[in-house]
A and B are shown apart, each in its own frame.
Chain A
Amino acid sequence: MSEKHEFFLPDPDGAVPSPEGYFGAFGGKFIPEALVAAVDEVAAEYEKAKGDPSFAAELNDLMANYTGRPSALTEVPRFAESAGGARVFLKREDLNHTGSHKINNVLGQALLTRRMGKTRVIAETGAGQHGVATATACALFGLECTIYMGEVDTRRQALNVARMRMLGAEVVSVTSGSRTLKDAINEAFRDWVANVDRTHYLFGTVAGPHPFPALVRDFHRVIGVEARRQLLERTGRLPDAAVACVGGGSNAMGLFHAFLPDADVRLVGCEPAGHGVDTGEHAATLTAGEPGILHGSRSYVLQDDEGQITEPYSISAGLDYPGVGPEHAYLKDTGRAEYRAVTDDAAMQALRLLSRTEGIIPAIESAHALAGALEVGRELGPEGLVLVNLSGRGDKDMDTAARYFGLYDDAAKGAGAGDGQ
């Protein structure tokens, strides 16, 4: 099998995490005793799978012939006119089956689920992309599937709720707390504790207790490996900056990881600034949070002075999360990656710009990375080369976008449009 057909590319370096799951001061395993055996089983099964050529072979085959990897690398010159003349390339994870990068991790963990002999899968979802990918894999593997989704998100991502149900999954609308991604994860953990014997929690991002941050990273690592090779083939050089949006941080970690040894490549994570970091209505965890423990690991979190998690806000359901993966916290503190905050409005303007200049409608999540890339491009100038992870497509966001930009004919439907314009 040639190198170009290998898509399961776990971190060959292995410097982090430590055996206890630490990336410097971040990570670890802060879980109830009832889940220790199950989480240890996932870690052990993953270690076994990494050494089993049949696991890689099956995953490589799925990623090639089901997902459609490798994903394309698209140069976007008309969009780049707004980026200070820098060249901009998009890594097209939106073209994967199910419409986002999430399928990379889901197929890997679905294979692990089968190896562990479990028959039921649960997952959290924010934008619905991880939920759709999980429901898809469960349909493919004949696994029972329950998806937890905050009530706020079931409304703003209604299309994805319908997709999950069409695929045979049960979607549970979570009404506790802020009714968004954080609360969906809480509810999924409650389910897992009660049903752990036959259930795998197919965690959707590079957060959670060890081994999830490393395991999810490894399944997404293909994004950066492919993009690095494709960009070298096309331009003969590495990018000046690799840019991705960061909620929990899985697509960003997938893009960044292959570039970690390339010291001259800036790694730029774009967090959701919502209405502005200074308004308090944001989900910019690395920009404005402090170290703490949420959902099983130590990382940056949005919290008050007594350790209560504060409610995040973003127009993007997929980024509306008060935590972030521990490896991002590590990359921030070591200075290897930089994180900046992008407002709702900047993201929505970038969404419209890419749609109109290139005929590509991105997810609102990915539009945060596009807005960040416009800034980075202007900072770099005409000699600059910027790689952006286009982590998902925007079909699911058309209702939000139509209201935002007043695209509906019916005036009543358009009520509430123009927020922030």
Chain B
Amino acid sequence: MSGNIALLEAALAGARAENRAALIAYHPAGFPTVDGGIAAIRAAFDGGADVVEVGLPHSDPVLDGPVIQTADDIALRNGVRIADVLRTVHEAHAATGKPVLVMTYWNPVDRYGAERFAAELAEAGGAGCILPDLPVEESTAWRKAAEAHGLATVFVVAPSSRDERLAKITAAGSGFVYAASLMGVTGTRVSVGAQAADLVRRTRATTDLPVCVGLGVSNAEQAAEVAAFADGVIVGSAFVKRLLDHEGDLEAGLAAVRELAADLAAGVRKR
């Protein structure tokens, strides 16, 4: 079975056709439980997310701030396994028909086997993978497996990326380009970095891939601000925080996730 890269491309093209940005939500698998995580992803889709990135929790999330670290810790303490992550992808996609990616660090995928992981992610209905600590120079084996299984390889670019590197990275990537809005780890910020618009402009000069902006976006106003210059808005910690704020009351947490997704979905339509 081939992965759903085409579904991802269609979702982003659909948003562009509607003259709006896409809303991309992030949620770590296994948090607060495997089934609770699946419900949270469905709630994000219900609220208006176009695409979801499922986090594969890692013991050493060096690019994540305290909110996602906490969620990863909870998931790992509950014993989340890669099979649970793949089930999360499968059920979230099967229930909604929407594109679902995996976002994780390289070691779990490397250890599992790039080919095996790509095959099983495609089988689960996944659309692609984001591996932020796998630089383009080290990515050949993964990209070969991803391409063979119809999966997108989404690379992250940063404000510090020079133009010649942007060209090299976007030439190797597929699906979309993840533009980090600022220099830092995941987490909500009061304002989205002023560097983001410049990075999107420089990235677009190198590629026709959609350019989606993540890091720091937590509310509709910020989403609208980013939607004015980007093809997609990626929100992670703000969703996770809704569930952490309602710890022990999953229904209330899911309602808050749905509400945030709806707010953000309105935001990405206000460009």
Contact = CB atoms under 8 A, between A and B. Distances in A.
Interface of A: 20, 28-38, 176-177, 182, 186, 189-190, 193-197, 292-296, 301, 303, 305-310
A306 B81 contact: yes
Contacts of B58: 307-308
B183 A193 contact: yes
Contacts of B1: none
Given A189-B62, A190-B62, A20 B137 contact: yes
A31 B135 contact: yes
Nearest to B131: A30
B109 A33 contact: no
B132 A36 contact: no
Contacts of A194: 183-185
Given A31-B135, A32-B156, A193 B109 contact: no
B15 to A, nearest CB: 24
Given A176-B69, A295-B62, A306-B108, 4 more contacts: A29-B135, A186-B61, A306-B111, A308-B59
Contacts of B109: 307
B169 interface: yes
B133 A30 contact: yes
**Interface magnitude class on chain B:** 35 or more
B60 A36 contact: no
Given A32-B156, A34-B183, A309 B110 contact: no
A30 B183 contact: no
B62 A308 contact: no
A293 B104 CA distance: 13
A309 B63 contact: no
A294 B138 contact: no
A188 to B, nearest CB: 9
Contacts of B19: none
B65 interface: yes
A292 B65 CA distance: 23
B63 A303 contact: no
A191 B58 CA distance: 19
Interface in B63-83: 63, 65, 69, 73, 76, 81-82
B110 A29 contact: no
B110 A292 contact: yes
A189 B60 CA distance: 11
Interface in B96-112: 106-112
Given A33-B158, A34-B158, A292-B111, A309 B106 contact: no
A350 to B, nearest CB: 32
A307 B111 contact: yes
Nearest to A39: B135
Given A176-B69, A307-B112, A293 B107 contact: yes
Given A182-B60, A292-B107, A32 B158 contact: yes
Contact of A33 (B69, B82, B132): B132
A293 B59 CA distance: 12
A248 to B, nearest CB: 15
A294 B82 CA distance: 19
A40 B60 CA distance: 23
